[in-house]
Structure 1
Amino acid sequence: MAIDEPGGPTKRDFLYLVTAMAGAVGVGAASWPFIDQMRPDASTLAMASIEVDVSSLAEGMSLTVKWRGRPVFIRNRTQQEIEAAKATALDDLKDPFARNANLSDDQPATDVARSAGEAKENWIVMIGVCTHLGCVPLGQAGDFGGWFCPCHGSHYDTAGRVRKGPAPENLAIPRFEFVSETVVRIG
């Protein structure tokens, strides 16, 4: 059918179509800067994961690093700290779940589930933010030798599990892995 044939498309229909398409392209071009600015910037993407050399951490030492704007505690636990965490009955815990992003959500809060695994059970990596109101707990303190939040009195054991106080959950464990014997990647 040709344009302007009776019952067919007219020049006016063609102009409406071209105008609508030009308008859609114009709206898309005008809105792109607003959409594009919602993407994370390069500094945020760079902090998506970090690698930390833990070769200088002797047994019993801790290190705090910043990841995604939050403190992360990395600790090379002593054998006594591991044994104390293993000796804790799971029924004695306020929060029975591991809160380990590397494991399934229903994993129980055993010492191994909270650590870097059976081969590296001495290593624990946790987000250092109290689960009560977001304070930063003090290390190697409190009634259970782990972490203590002085703001409201939450006590965590040597595996970062809440044992006493108002905190409702264990300290969270981010995704992490050892990329070598002495380097851990967080994120």
Structure 2
Amino acid sequence: MQSVVKAASVGQLAKASCLGVPANTALPAAAVAGPAKTYKKVGTQVRSIHAGNVDVPDFSYYRRSATKDPTSDNKSSIENRNAFSYVMAGTLGVSGAYTAKALVNQFVSSWSASQDVLALAKIEIKLADIPEGKNMTFKWRGKPLFIRHRTAEEIERERAIDASTLRDPQTDEDRVQQAEWLVILGVCTHLGCVPIANAGEFGGYYCPCHGSHYDASGRIRKGPAPLNLEVPVHEFMDEGTLIVG
């Protein structure tokens, strides 16, 4: 390092330069001319460029027609270019929204009930198979379903009850669509036990687990149950068929 500093102080540093010129071309005079007196020219390297064999890429095919002319004004084509950008952005936005909607629908539909569950969503019952004064039990959605063919005496007795005196006030008319048919779920509203039909102090249903008594309209009359037996959604058809669900 000391030798380099000493050489610089006496002006003995050399300078090398590199110059690229086309092939078969004489070296310019400026390339061999000596620089300032401080430096001493010791060599020049010449590298030839074979211009005839170099392929210059042409991207004019990918350019817009309005921008191919280098002398054209950029402001004259800004409206067309903006319109193209807006159309592309709108198309991509609509396509993205449609794709997102399809994905969300597919995801939500995967949560829906399977075909075997939907098949049990409704049950069809022939009312002619249930004699008057009897209660029949069916299975619906994994729960016991009570269908009671009530007699005229039961209908008259239940409709004579003052609903305001009941724990869960409901009139008999509010719980049945046809007076002779009572459709309820056989699940006690206390702890989910299955009551016994045609039993209890009121001639309706009795839950032996904790002593809840229901009348022939499925209303709680005695015991710990807080609510009446649930009435599911049902519909009577013209051919004497009941559809529950």
TM-score by shorter chain over 0.5: yes
Q: Which runs of 5+ in 2 are unaligned?
A: 1-65, 68-80, 83-95
Deviation at 1:70, TM superposition (A): 1.1
Return the TM-score normalized by structure 2: 0.57
Cα pair distance change 1:31/1:90, threshold 3 Å: closer
2:147 match: 74
1:48 match: 121
* Counterparts of residues 1-187 of structure 1 (less than 5 Å): 35-97=108-170, 109-110=171-172, 112-117=173-178, 121-187=179-245
2:56 match: none
Does the residue aligned with 1:129 lie in a helix, a strand or coil?
coil
Does the residue aligned with 1:45 lie in a helix, a strand or coil?
helix
Task: Identify the structure with bigger relative contact order (alpha carbons < 8 Å, sequence gap 6+).
Answer: 1
Does the residue aligned with 1:95 lie in a helix, a strand or coil?
coil
Cα deviation code 1:11-33 (max 9, x no counterpart): xxxxxxxxxxxx99999999887
Partners of 1:24 and 1:79 in 2: CA distance? 62
The residue type equivalent to 2:222 in the other structure is K
Cα pair distance change 1:144/1:36, threshold 3 Å: same
Deviation at 1:72, TM superposition (A): 1.0
The residue type equivalent to 2:202 in the other structure is F
Partners of 2:101 and 2:174 in 1: CA distance? 49
* Comparing 141-150 and 25-34, the one that deviates more: 25-34
Q: Which has the larger radius of gyration?
A: 2
Cα pair distance change 1:27/1:115, threshold 3 Å: closer
Deviation at 1:116, TM superposition (A): 2.2
Partners of 1:91 and 1:133 in 2: CA distance? 25
Q: Which runs of 5+ in 1 are unaligned?
A: 10-22, 98-108
Does the residue aligned with 1:82 lie in a helix, a strand or coil?
helix
- Aligned residue pairs total 171
Does the residue aligned with 1:146 lie in a helix, a strand or coil?
strand
Q: Root-mean-square deviation (CA), in Å? A: 3.0
Deviation at 1:157, TM superposition (A): 0.3
Structure with more of its chain in helix, by fraction: 2
* Comparing 71-80 and 81-90, the one that deviates more: 81-90
Q: 1:53–1:182: 8 Å Cα contact kept in structure 2?
A: yes
Cα pair distance change 1:143/1:39, threshold 3 Å: same
Partners of 2:232 and 2:99 in 1: CA distance? 44
Partners of 1:82 and 1:116 in 2: CA distance? 12
Give the 4+ runs in structure 1 shifted more than 6 A: 23-33
